[in-house]
Structures are given as C-alpha cells and as structure tokens.
C-alpha cells in the first residue's frame, strides 16, 4: 500500500469494525521497511524495519503513534533510520544507549560524590548543581547534550549570576571528563569544554575608615536596640518595637571576619574545640588551603570570649544543641540588613577579608606576613614562612585588628 494519512486512517477505521484478534502490520510500497501496525484495540503505531549492515536479524524501531506523529514526519524518520542502518549505524541501539545514559543532574551528582575533593568544595558544587545546572540542563540525557545546549544554558544562568554561570560550566566540563573515563558518556564527549565564559574581574572593594566606623555603629545597634524593620530581611530574629535584634552570634561572626581576615566558612564552621585560648590560636583542620593556623589578635580573642557557648560551633545555628547540629549556612540576610544600615550595600561579606589585608598593606606590613595571616596558598610564600615565629605574626594581627577595633569596637 501507498502509505498516506488518508490510507492509514481508512485502514484503522476498517480494522476497528473488523476487530482482528492479532496485531496487523502494513508496509509502504515506496519506502522499503517503513510501515505501521494496528493492535487489536485499534491503536496504530509507525515503525521502521531494517537489517544492520553487519548482518543478523531484522530490527524494528517504533517512531510514534499514528495521529500524534504525522505520516510525512514518520516517513522521514523511517528514511533516516534505514539510511543510518545502511551506513552501519544502529539508531535503535543509539536510542537505547541514550535512555540508559544518566541525566546531566545524575552525572554531576555522581562526579561530586565520587571525586576526591574537600568537603567545602563538595558543598559548593552541590549548591551550584541545584541552583544553576538542574533548572537548565538537569533532565537532559548526558550523551544527548550538545555544545549549543550548554551555551544557551550558560547564557540563561548569566542573566542571574555571571560568575556563578562560569563556575557551573566549569563543573559541567569536569563532570563530563570524569564521566567519559567511567563509561557514562563517550570519550571526548564534552559539550561544556569550549563555552564562551563571562569576563571576570577581581574585586578590589574594601572599607574605608569612615565605613568601618559606620559598620561598627550598625553592629552595636543590631545587637542592642535592633535594626529598624525596613532595614531587616530576617524572619527568625526577635523583633522589638519595630526593630529586629540580631543575637551575639551573628554580630560576633561579622566582627571575627573583620578582625581575623578569615573566610566566611572558616568562621561559620569554627568549633569551640578548634579555639586555643591559652595560645591565642585557631587550629582549623580543613580550610580552603588545607590545615590552617590562625593567629588571633587581642581584639579577636575578646570577641570570642564574649560569645555564649551554646553548642559545638562558635557561631550557633538554628540546630544548636541537637543531635543533628550543623553549622550556620550563611549570613546573607543579617549582613544585607546591617550593611544597608551602615550605608555600605555594595560591600560583599568577602570584602571584609579584603579590608583586613588592605589595612595591613596600608600600614606598610610585608606581603608575606599578610599572606601568612590570611592563609594564602602561594607555594613560595608558604614554604618560606612555614616555620615563622608566632610573635611577629601576632604583632601584625594585633596592629591590624586594633586599628579596626578602634572603629567598630569588639562587643557591646
């Protein structure tokens, strides 16, 4: 029969009246291997039938239901499947392989779970996966992803977060390389490898003397009378007389960031067992650059001594003193409110670390000493000053933190 929309519709209508007791198959006169079959319920389905070039039994690939896929579309799909079979390409097997392939979300999650990396990095990757990759590419099969798919996803991510979009693509690229070595995708299949990335520029923002003083005022207001509600984003902090009061753990975290130059996670994940008050040190087991010793200034120790000890972590979270106690996730909402109150809305929380370094550099301290205080990973600097005496480092920490403490204070 010459398969057209009309002949197929007529055939199915006749079979519904006839009600055959088995599935009936019909082939096209013009395209060998193209046809449709009708089940005993009267449902029609397009198919392509072909024999692989290497020999063996015929294979049949379904192309979709009659009525949903048009006759012309089904004919073209059959022509493609038959042509590929003649070239030694088995589209039915390719389709099966694609269905067996992990999704992009599954591939990246396996990479994150299976690759040796720092726990802080693993946590960051999971946030990147959830926030940026899953909404754009997560449900696609990894083997089916092409370069244009990733470029479009990167462009979409970039509208919300330009730098994070770059990080997401870097994570994708690493996951595809890892997955190829383990058979999850074909070797060399890395559609994220040559994506146009957004241009990045290192931030140079740090607080001026006046801004440090304004931040100090805002911190004292936050922990005593509270920040006016219009300035506050917090839903959980206590409210009193139209203001939001931030507890001592929040304000202590911000002060410690300023007075130590530590990274945010280093302060939020800090345990009381890692604080050595007798020697004035923090012994961090797992910072960004590995194990790290932080030499504390007198001002920083004063902040630590003023923090209520209510759990395992110095900066208590909402799960404090429970079996599932975890560190506080971030300071986004309180920092947004406090920084707005101080008139420094453009300042990121990481800029407090930059400020610590800038105060030291402005006072003429050597870059190796500042690098030691900040825990930079520069190999030459680390090797040269690995056994540096703690006294000059403490003197530098005291000099920097004392100047900052003069502006922001060290507590209530």
What one-character-per-residue DSSP string does 99-111 give?
A: HHSPBHHHHHHHH
- Positive or negative: CA dihedral 201, 124, 314, 367: negative
The whole-number pLDDT of residue 389 equals 45
List, in order, residues 6 or more apart from 332 with CB less than 8 Å away: 233
Secondary structure letter of residue 381 according to DSSP:
H
309 class by beta-carbon count within 10 Å (0-12 exposed, 13-18 middle, 19+ buried)? exposed
b (16+ CB within 10 A) / e for 36-63: bbbeeeeebbbbbbbebeeeeeebbbeb
The whole-number pLDDT of residue 231 equals 47
Q: What is the pTM of this model?
A: 0.56
The whole-number pLDDT of residue 256 equals 95
Beta partners for 38?
Answer: 24, 44
The whole-number pLDDT of residue 387 equals 36
Query: 237-241: long-range contacts at Cβ-Cβ below 8 A with a sequence spacing of 24 or more?
Result: 237/334
Alpha-carbon gap, residue 27 to 10, rounded angstroms: 15
The whole-number pLDDT of residue 100 equals 62
The residue behind tokens 């205080």 is: 373
- Positive or negative: CA dihedral 142, 147, 150, 156: negative
**Are 114 and 184 in contact, with CB atoms under 8 Å apart?**
no
Secondary structure letter of residue 261 according to DSSP:
-
- Positive or negative: CA dihedral 256, 259, 264, 266: negative
Residue 295 DSSP SS3: strand
Domains of the chain and any CATH numbers: 5-100 (3.30.160.390), 104-181 (1.10.150), 209-408 (1.10.443.10)
DSSP codes, 28-89: -SSSTTEEEEE-TTS-EEEEEEE--TT-SS-EEEEEEEBTTB-HHHHHHHHHHHHHHHHTT-
Residue 240 DSSP SS3: strand
The whole-number pLDDT of residue 380 equals 45
The whole-number pLDDT of residue 54 equals 53
The CA–CA distances, whole Å, from 375 to 117, 211, 296 equal 19, 25, 13
* Residue ranges of the chain with per-residue pLDDT less than 70: 52-56, 86-100, 202-203, 230-241, 288-289, 361-370, 372, 374-392, 412
- Neighbour count for residue 332 (Cβ, 10 Å): 11
b (16+ CB within 10 A) / e for 129-155: beebbbebbbebbbbebeeebbbebbe
Alpha-carbon gap, residue 90 to 88, rounded angstroms: 6
**Are 354 and 234 in contact, with CB atoms under 8 Å apart?**
no
Alpha-helical regions (H) of 270-389: 298-305, 332-341, 351-362, 367-374, 379-384
């Amino acid at each position: 029969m010459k398969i057209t929309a009309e002949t197929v519709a007529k055939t199915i209508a006749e079979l519904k009246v006839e009600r055959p007791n088995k599935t009936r198959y019909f082939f096209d006169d013009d395209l060998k291997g193209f046809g449709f079959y009708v089940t005993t319920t009267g449902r029609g389905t397009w198919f392509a039938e072909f024999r692989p070039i290497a020999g063996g039994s015929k294979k049949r690939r379904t192309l979709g239901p009659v009525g949903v896929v048009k006759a012309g579309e089904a004919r073209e799909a059959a022509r493609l499947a038959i042509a590929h079979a003649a070239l030694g390409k088995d589209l039915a097997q390719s389709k099966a392989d694609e269905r067996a392939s992990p999704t992009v979300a599954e591939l990246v999650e396996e990479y994150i779970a299976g690759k040796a990396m720092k726990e802080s990095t693993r946590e960051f990757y999971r946030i990147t996966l959830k926030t940026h990759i899953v909404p754009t590419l997560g449900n696609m099969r990894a083997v089916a992803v092409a370069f244009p798919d990733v470029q479009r996803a990167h462009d979409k991510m970039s509208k919300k977060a330009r730098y994070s979009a770059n990080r997401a693509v870097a994570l994708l690229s690493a996951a595809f390389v890892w997955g190829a070595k383990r058979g999850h995708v074909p070797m060399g299949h890395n559609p994220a490898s040559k994506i146009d990335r957004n241009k990045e520029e290192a931030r140079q923002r740090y607080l001026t003397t006046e801004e440090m003083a304004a931040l100090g005022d805002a911190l004292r207001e936050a922990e005593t009378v509270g920040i006016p509600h219009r300035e506050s984003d917090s839903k959980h902090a206590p409210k009193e007389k139209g203001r939001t009061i931030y507890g001592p753990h929040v304000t202590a975290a911000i002060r410690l960031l300023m007075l130590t130059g530590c990274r945010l996670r280093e302060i939020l994940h800090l345990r009381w067992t890692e604080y050595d008050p007798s020697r004035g040190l923090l012994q961090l087991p797992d910072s960004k650059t590995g194990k790290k010793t932080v030499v504390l200034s007198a001002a920083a120790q004063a902040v630590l001594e003023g923090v209520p000890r209510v759990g395992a972590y110095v900066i208590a979270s909402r799960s404090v003193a429970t079996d599932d106690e975890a560190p506080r996730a971030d300071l986004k909402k309180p920092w947004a409110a406090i920084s707005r109150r101080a008139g420094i809305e453009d300042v990121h929380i990481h800029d407090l670390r930059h400020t610590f370094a800038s105060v030291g550099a402005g006072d003429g301290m050597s870059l190796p000493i500042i690098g030691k205080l900040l825990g930079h990973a520069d190999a030459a600097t680390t090797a040269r000053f690995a056994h540096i005496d703690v006294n000059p480092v403490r003197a530098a920490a005291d000099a920097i933190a004392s100047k900052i403490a003069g502006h922001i204070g060290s507590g209530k």
